[in-house]
Amino acid sequence: MKQIKQLGIWMDHSNAFLMELTNDVIVEKTVNSEFTPYEKEFTLEKSERMMHNKEQQDQASYYKKIGDVIKNYNKVILFGPTDAKLELLNLIRVGHQFENIMIEARNADKMTAHQMHDFVKEYFK
């Protein structure tokens, strides 16, 4: 019998907390966007257009890192307070390498690590 690999991702535009659920135990990793407030301020001083280009490049890189992790799972729940989860979901749906992965997005507020873990466990029950 094939083991089902489950992943919960709480995310916003700057941080993603990836929580792998195996036998009711969660192993957590973090992926951070390279576009920090310092980076925004630094590029904005040069030009607004440059800042937007840098932000788009960094967001694309951030979503790619998360997508590379998702490829290794069968079921994924994306949740968080911003539209970042929907932006990632829309990018993923374009790629054929994700078509056999069940991926869903849900709205959620800011959460503590314990609340995130409980959310993931409850979702995959």
pLDDT in tens, the chain (125 residues): 457 799 999 999 889 999 999 988 999 999 998 866 556 555 655 666 666 666 778 888 999 999 999 999 999 999 999 999 999 999 998 878 898 999 999 999 999 999 999 999 999 98
- Strand, helix or coil for residue 8: strand
Fold of 6-123: Nucleotidyltransferase; domain 5 (3.30.420)
In the chain, the amino acid numbered 87 is: E
- Strand, helix or coil for residue 109: coil
According to the model, what pLDDT value does residue 43 have?
Answer: 61
CA distance 40 to 13: 13
Two structure tokens written together for 4? 């089902």
Q: What is the pLDDT of residues 88-106, one digit of tens each?
A: 999 998 878 898 999 999 9
Residue ranges per structural domain of the chain: 6-123
According to the model, what pLDDT value does residue 59 have?
Answer: 85
| Overall pTM surpassing 0.95 (yes/no) | no
